Amino acid sequence: MIATLFIHMFSVFFLRAYHKPREITWVSGAFLLFIVICFGFSGYLLPWNKLAFFATKVGTEIAGVVPIVGHPVLRFLRGGDDVTGATLTRFFGFHVAVLPATATVFLGVHVALVQLHGMHVPKKFEHNYRRMKFFPNFIMRDLIGWILAIGVLAALAAIFPWELGEKADPFAPAPAGIKPEWYFLFMFQTLKWLPAKILGMDGEVLGIMAFNIIGALLFVVPFIDRDPANRRKHLIFNIVGIVAVVYIVVMTIVGYVAK
């Protein structure tokens, strides 16, 4: 799901499908991307095994190093100063109640905006484009896809059940070579390579702040690139998008193979 969202986001970015009047559609989609990533992070602790425990501990510590707001955010995520049973309860609540409700709202807004403004179609394909009614045509076709996907997921869960793994021991040291899920690997590897100090500041803090700024900039892309006829700005955005894709792919691969 997260891979599909990344592909969709970059396809919308390169096709400039966020131009007026679809700015808020892009913003709602960006919120959905971050919500789904939060689903992945909150669900990581739920097995309460060794890998999940230490990955959650490291992940919340990363949030805790942000200046000023870091420590309150860490305590909010953990339900205290340490990863405990209270953290598990809190993450379960996020995963099954808060995030699904939030995702439902943004998904409803996103779909409503797509129906209001229509799908973006490049001008050279407009003459061959056939529009489909949302109901019942699109709904029925999408419903078939969801039923097939859920069927495959249920079959995989029954045939290849996922083991819970070794139970977490809060007093044991972190296992060697621990890594986050693939969608965090490029950030994880970047933070590993950053020097301890950069211009007298903590390198990890600067790295986390840089990723936060980039994430915030994602929401304002439609308001920066407002002129569909500006070829120079399009070229700059294309270069930025290509660099981002290459960086994410390369650093994910490096993070996966690195020991």
The domain segmentation of the chain, as residue ranges, is: 2-131+163-257
Instruction: With H, G, I as helix, E, B as strand and everything else as coil, classify residue 201.
Output: strand
Q: Would you say residue 97 has pLDDT above 80?
A: yes
CATH of domain 2-131+163-257: 1.20.810.10
3-class SS shares of the chain: helix, strand, coil, % to 5:
70, 0, 25
What is the C-alpha separation between 68 and 57, in angstroms, rounded? Answer: 20
Sign of CA dihedral 71, 76, 81, 87: negative
Mean pLDDT confidence for 68-83? 87
What is the C-alpha separation between 184 and 211, in angstroms, rounded? Answer: 11
What is the C-alpha separation between 114 and 257, in angstroms, rounded? Answer: 40
Q: Are 40 and 183 in contact (CB under 8 A)?
A: yes
pLDDT for res 46: 87
What is the C-alpha separation between 67 and 83, in angstroms, rounded? Answer: 21
Q: Would you say residue 203 has pLDDT above 70?
A: yes
CA-wise closest residue to 187 among 257, 245, 259, 255: 255
pTM for this predicted structure: 0.86
pLDDT for res 174: 72
Q: Are 106 and 28 in contact (CB under 8 A)?
A: yes
Q: What is the pLDDT of residues 27-48, one digit of tens each?
A: 999 999 999 999 988 888 888 8
pLDDT for res 129: 66
Confidence of residue 126 (pLDDT cuts 50, 70, 90): low
